[in-house]
Amino acid sequence: MTTSLGPGFWRIWATQTLSIIGSTVSGIGVAVHVYVTTGDARWLGYLTAVAAAPAVLVSPFLRRLDRVPRRSALIAGDCLAVTGPLAALLLVWLGQLELWHLVVASAATGVGNAVQSPALSAAVPAVLGNTHPQTLAKANSLFQLGPAAGIVLGPAIAAPLVAWQGLSAVLLLDVVTFAVAMAATVATPFADLPTESSGTGTGANAGTVTDDGSWRVALRWLRTDGRALVVLLVAIGVVNLCLAFFNVSILAVSLDVGGVSWAGLPIALGGLAMVAASLAAPLLGLARRPVRVAAASLGLTALGCVLAASRPSLLVVTLGVMVALAPMAVVNGGIATLFHTAVPTSMHGRVFALRSTIGRSLDPIGAALAGVVVAQVAGPAMAPGGALAGSMGRL
């Protein structure tokens, strides 16, 4: 079986990457607009929380991801995700946008992402036309370039674009890149891989499964052959809790130490490090030992978090973010490859939806908590006269 990536994959990958960049620019632009308008880090936490919450709330309704064609599910998720920025853009043009509108728009986008993310993950084998582990490792590593490129370009574009052209510019960019991705998805044929009763994965745990497309069958498989994946899902949830806290805190810290013009630099260079890690990931043996490589990468992420918090210097914060974010591209690619090869193909939609739900279930808590801690606990405590002014405050 060939391990090359076909033209259909490259078309979907390129346009989805472009759309992710547009969405990242939009999301960061909205966050910068809100923070500059309110001066309150709690609003950053609220926006992140309401965007992440739908991944938990919508999951029980996503069993149909395995009952419809992969392309149809992907189109539906994309259409739902664009409703938030499109509505916000119209309100800006009408001169009626208020802060709470952006919170509602973030929630609407979160609903779309809750559908689009597992739909795209489940569609990877159909876009490739095969389930060869080496091919999947290459494809999953490349798909990490989308978020990474978004992190590189998003802050670099969003902050100055909002400062110069206003919020409408970043929202319009999001809508236009969505339209490009939608056109490519409609034009690209997807392979007709098994999705009903005889789908099997390619890993040692996959086996042959009689699947009626229900949650009952998928959960029963996870309780038996897929028990190790459940443990991994819980671990991912804890990691994402910490990263949600980290992401909100870093944006606030970057704005404080670098100002609006330079606030995007740490995250942008962190994304550049993710791009490099995504390109190098296939060389690390993801197809052969994804868990071991992911575990080692998480250790580097923890080191980066400590480094970013060590000094109120834009240089130190930037280096810490680079060390923290680069390994996450390897972690995400390795885990996606593991799930593609271990989970029966007919269950990919439901299991990837469950993976997104558990993996992001603690995101809203981490994001909301980060905003409160930064604004009401850590900041005052380290300020002159605060409880930590003589210790952490000196840093």
In the 3-class helix/strand/coil scheme, how is 267-291 assigned residue by residue? HHHHHHHHHHHHHHHHHHCCCCCHH
If one compares 141 and 303, the residue with the highest pLDDT of the two is 303
Per-residue pLDDT at 379 = 54
Q: What is the mean pLDDT of residues 360-383?
A: 64
- How distant is the alpha carbon of residue 265 from its chain centre? 19
Mean pLDDT over 65-86 rounds to: 88
The phi-psi region of residue 387 (left if phi > 0; otherwise alpha if psi is between -120 and 50; otherwise beta) is: alpha
Residue 154: band (very low, low, confident or very high) from pLDDT cuts 50, 70, 90: confident
What pLDDT sits at residue 185? 93
- Between 387 and 9, the more confident residue is 9
Cβ contact 62:49 at 8 Å = no
Sort 100 into a burial class: Cβ within 10 Å, 0-12 / 13-18 / 19+. exposed
Asked if 335 and 290 touch (Cβ cutoff 8 Å), the reply is: yes
Once rounded to an integer, what is the mean pLDDT over residues 211-237?
A: 83
Q: Tokens for 289, please give them.
A: 């030992």
Q: Do residues 200 and 345 touch, judged by C-beta distance below 8 A? A: yes
Most confident of 49-53, 82-86, 365-369: 82-86
More confident residue, 374 or 243: 243
Q: Average pLDDT of the chain?
A: 79
Q: What angle do CA 251, 144, 227 make, to 5 degrees?
A: 100
pLDDT band at 178 (very low <50, low <70, confident <90, very high): very high
Model pLDDT, residue 364: 66
Cβ-based neighbours of 102, under 8 Å, separated by 6 or more: 30, 33, 34, 47, 88
pLDDT for position 297: 82
Tokens of 147: 């978020």
pLDDT of residue 206: 46
- Average pLDDT (121-145) is 81
Q: What pLDDT is attached to residue 174?
A: 92
Amino acid making up residue 26: S
User: What pLDDT is attached to residue 204?
Assistant: 42
Fold annotation for 7-394: Growth Hormone; Chain: A; (1.20.1250)
- Going by pLDDT thresholds of 50, 70 and 90, the confidence category of residue 194 is low
Question: Which residue did the predictor score with more confidence, 156 or 95?
Answer: 95
| pLDDT band at residue 229 under the 50/70/90 scheme | confident
Alpha-carbon dihedral 173, 182, 325, 349, rounded to 10 degrees: 150
Output the CA torsion 206→207→212→216 (10° steps). Answer: -60
pLDDT at 388 over 70: no
Rounded Cα distance between 345 and 198, Å, is 9
Query: Above 90 in pLDDT, residue 145?
Result: no
Count CB neighbours of 96 within 10 A.
Answer: 9
CB under 8 Å, gap of 24 or more: what pairs does 213-222 form? 213/63, 213/66, 213/67, 213/346, 214/63, 215/60, 215/63, 215/350, 217/347, 218/347, 218/350, 218/351, 218/354, 221/343, 221/344, 221/347, 222/351, 222/354
The pLDDT of residue 28: 84
Tell me which residue of 8, 308, 299, 329 sits closest to 151, measured CA to CA.
329
pLDDT over 80 at 366, yes or no: no
> From CA 28, how far away is CA 201, in angstroms rounded?
37
More confident residue, 258 or 18: 18
**Would the pLDDT of 2 be above 60?**
no
Helices (H), the chain: 7-38, 41-52, 54-57, 70-94, 99-128, 133-143, 145-165, 167-187, 215-223, 227-262, 265-280, 290-308, 314-342, 348-360, 363-372, 379-382
- For residues 45 and 31, give the distance between their C-alpha atoms in angstroms, rounded to a whole number: 10
3 vs 49 pLDDT, higher one: 49
Give 377's pLDDT tier (boundaries 50, 70, 90).
Answer: low
pLDDT value at position 3?
Answer: 58
Annotated domain spans of the chain: 7-394
Q: Kindly state the tokens that stand for 319.
A: 């280096």
The helix (H) or strand (E) run that includes residue 384 is none
Residue for token digits 């923290």? 324
Q: Is 95 left (phi over 0), alpha (psi -120 to 50) or beta?
A: left
Range from 132-141, 340-349, 360-369 carrying the lowest mean pLDDT: 360-369
pLDDT confidence tier of residue 90, bands split at 50, 70 and 90: very high
Two structure tokens written together for 201: 């994965």
3-state SS assignment for residue 375:
helix
